[in-house]
Amino acid sequence: MGITMTDSVPVITVLIQGFLSFFSPCVLPLLPLYIGYLSGGIGVTASDEEHSFSRGKVMINTLCFVIGIGFSFFLLGLGMRAIGKFFGGNQILFARIGGIIVIMFGLYQLGVLGESSALMKEKRTPVYVRPCPGCCSWLLLQTAVQRDLRLWGYIHWGLRSRFF
């Protein structure tokens, strides 16, 4: 890949970015779920309604959880690397096949290849799309975020339409 240790990002930078991403607003609500998952089923309730957990069991659960997540990411990375090597090694072949397909579509659009009964058929799935209240939420959210007066026109349009 051409990346050496002198060209890479320092480890301390990656560590700081990891900590910052851990405390992001989309991760913090998941922390009670992780803690509940890691300590699930091993809590002991005393007579005075006080809960206690065995540190050893929680550590074993945490270790197995981290190893499992790490292994799944390792397998995903390994698979993506194999797919990338396959496409990278056959790049010329895929470029030629893609070029031939584009040329064939162009010739078809020009009418050189004639008409195809398979491509000229129109098949539609009968789907009725009902207006959703999410459209109105999107308009209101955009107005709140953008602080732009043009969006009040969209809200006016939304009030007159059948979205409400």
Instruction: Give residue for tokens 């006080």.
Output: 50
Domain-by-domain residue ranges, the chain?
11-89, 130-164
> What is the rounded distance in angstroms from the CA atom of residue 33 to the CA atom of residue 2?
40
Helices (H), the chain: 11-22, 31-39, 55-89, 91-110, 117-120, 133-146, 150-160
pLDDT in tens, 23-50: 777 777 777 777 777 776 666 666 667 7
Query: Which pLDDT does position 98 carry in this prediction?
Result: 93
- The count of residues in the chain is 164
Query: Which pLDDT does position 164 carry in this prediction?
Result: 47
Instruction: Give residue for tokens 């009040």.
Output: 152
pLDDT in tens, 100-142: 999 998 998 888 888 877 777 887 777 776 666 666 666 666 5
